[in-house]
Amino acid sequence: MKILVINAGSSSLKYQLLDMETEKVVAKGNCERVGLDRPFITYKHDGQEQKFDGAKNHEDAIEKVLKILTDKEYGVIKSFDEIEAVGHRVLHGGEIYKNSVLVTDEVIKNLESLIPLGPLHMPANIAGIKACQVAMPSLPQVAIFDTAFHATMPEKAYRYAIKYEDAEKFHIRKYGFHGSSHRFITLEMAKILNKPLDQVNIIVAHIGNGSSVTAVKNGKSVDTTMGLTPLQGMVMGTRSGDVDPTVVQYLCKNKNMTVDEVVNYLNKQSGVLGISGVDSDMRTVENEAAKGNKRCKLALDMVAYSARKFIGSYLAVLNGADAIVFTGGVGENGAETREDIVSNMENLGVVLDKEKNKNFKRGQVELISAKNSKVKIYVVPTNEELMMARDTQEIVQNLKKKSKKTK
């Protein structure tokens, strides 16, 4: 069974074709600058990378991706009949969807009703689904939600302390994101720790340009740092993370900005970029900090401090943990960032082996805690696309079983 996984953004469309018999990637790429000037498509397969003319919209992008995948010269499948189903990353399931679902007309309507909760991402997610429905009308389309894994949070964790009636009416609450990543890591850690899933108690630190920390108790999310939107929580690449809400009012008055402009400012001009004044990329900021740039050093310190603060609070929430797990682009590859985050946590039973951390092998599961660390520290590569493909496969297989029973 081959599954096509789609992650449609406002001006991009990432794709990955997986062979589910081996769970290996057959081909992958990105349609970049969709609908903008100078669009292009990247295509990676069999160790090769090619570049093609881009797309004017999401429907055009899907058509071109299918044409590339089935091309007689460099394609990896003879026709898209070899694709069993398409899995779509969807930002928000709101309070409606707590698991991945088969896309129907009703699902599309529900997704459109959730656009106010994710105005930047949801229209693009929906456009990607509709484009695939047009190009491959006979194939099952599955929606996989970033928020779903966190649907198990207790009310005391997800509710904001605002007027109860308003929170209910406008669905204002913590939803959490990076769900596919946190879920993938939780399932992997059950294998690594050799424990039943319902006995896994871990803290997952997904750290990249966007970052979130999740407390997992008995295999389920009980709290996470992102909130109503992905803006809440840690200091991130371009996002501020937690700030006093009156900062919005203050900026509106003193910089003559609208509320929407301030939200954009907090999302795209803040975080590591805003503090360093250099870049949102941690690698660039680390290089500049090493040269003596104090603002870059401050930005790195703030990222580490915010992560450490959340990890510490979740150790309290869980009353201890089996492990702290680093994942995501920076979490997996940033040895300095990991060391900065877990330093000075020895009294909490968290002790890093600095040599193991420094000499870790990229792309592999690594235990980097010291022997005397009560809480183990791991680096585990995430695979959100594989998690999405597995969900899609499961739904398709269940659909086939139901079809056989009705015959």
- Tell me which residue of 390, 342, 297 sits closest to 207, measured CA to CA: 342
Q: Closest Cα to residue 6, out of 179, 176, 148, 142?
A: 142
d(C-alpha 128, C-alpha 125), whole Å: 5
Pair of tokens at residue 58:
């999401």
Q: How far apart are CA 167 and CA 162, in angstroms?
A: 7
In angstroms, rounded to a whole number, what is the distance separating the alpha carbons of residues 92 and 114? Answer: 7
Cβ 30 vs Cβ 40: under 8 Å: no
CB 325 within 8 A of CB 189: yes
Q: Residue 378: helix, strand or coil by DSSP? A: strand
Active site residues: 146
Q: Sheet harboring 2-8: ordered strands across?
A: 48-53, 40-45, 24-32, 12-19, 2-8, 83-90, 141-145, 101-102
Angle between helices 384-406 and 179-192 (to 10 degrees): 90
| Per-residue exposure over 118-148, b if at least 16 CB sit within 10 Å of its own CB, e if not | bebbbbbbbbbbbbbbebbeebbbbbbbbbb
Task: Tally the C-alpha atoms within 13 A of residue 16's C-alpha that lie toward its C-beta.
Answer: 19
Parallel/antiparallel/unpaired status of strands 101-102 and 48-53: unpaired
Cβ within 8 Å of residue 250, ≥6 positions away: none
